[in-house]
Amino acid sequence: MHERWAEGCTNAWTLWEEIKTHGYTGGYGAVRAYLQPFRTTPTAPAARPPSSRTVTSWILTHPDTLPESERLRLKTVLASCPELDAVTGHVRAFGKMLTQLQGDQLPQWIKAVHADALPSLHTFVNGLERDLVTVTAGLTLPWSSGFVESYVNRIKMIKRQMYGRAGFGLLRKRVLLAS
């Protein structure tokens, strides 16, 4: 039995059936109990890989604000996937343009994205190129339409609440009275 164990047969049932043919009269449980000390202690299961949502949050977080443990795990993930590493570089470069109002660098960024084989980013870049002048202005100028957008969203919400119930007159009254 020890020879078969050394050969790599570690299945107690198989070994029990083999030694039964040589005249062993004991039961399977005895063989299993005998082999137990020879088995190495089970290793802890490998840590689960991070979810795609977790990796996305690591990529979208500024590298300086990531805790060291998460930064190391992200580095491990990026080392195993060169495409994801390229996407991370492009996303962070775009984030830098966005936060530091560097819209003049957009054409170079678009060329860099087109140079890589990243279809998901190509779709995004194609959308940007449709209205490049406006996107460049949005990434360069300090003004924001966020204040106006909140009012537009509020009016749309009121309109949806009244859908099919009244005309423009009632919508006008609700908007003006809600202010």
pLDDT digits (tens, 9 = 90+) for 33-75: 888 887 776 666 677 888 999 999 999 999 889 999 999 999 9
**What is the pLDDT, as a whole number, of residue 145?**
79
> Exposed (0-12), middle (13-18) or buried (19+): which is 15, by Cβ within 10 Å?
buried
Average pLDDT, stretch 2-18?
Answer: 81
Separation between Cα atoms, residue 140 and residue 144, nearest integer Å = 11
Whether the pLDDT of residue 87 is over 90: the answer is yes
Give the pLDDT band (50/70/90) at residue 108.
very high
**What is the pLDDT, as a whole number, of residue 179?**
63
Separation between Cα atoms, residue 175 and residue 108, nearest integer Å = 45
Separation between Cα atoms, residue 67 and residue 70, nearest integer Å = 5
Average pLDDT, stretch 89-99?
Answer: 92
pLDDT in tens, 122-171: 999 999 999 999 889 988 988 877 788 888 888 887 777 777 676 777 77
pTM for the model: 0.59
First to last CA, the chain: 87
Among 38, 43, 51, 53, residue whose Cα is nearest residue 8: 38
Residue boundaries of the structural domains of the chain: 2-38, 81-140, 146-178
Separation between Cα atoms, residue 20 and residue 29, nearest integer Å = 13
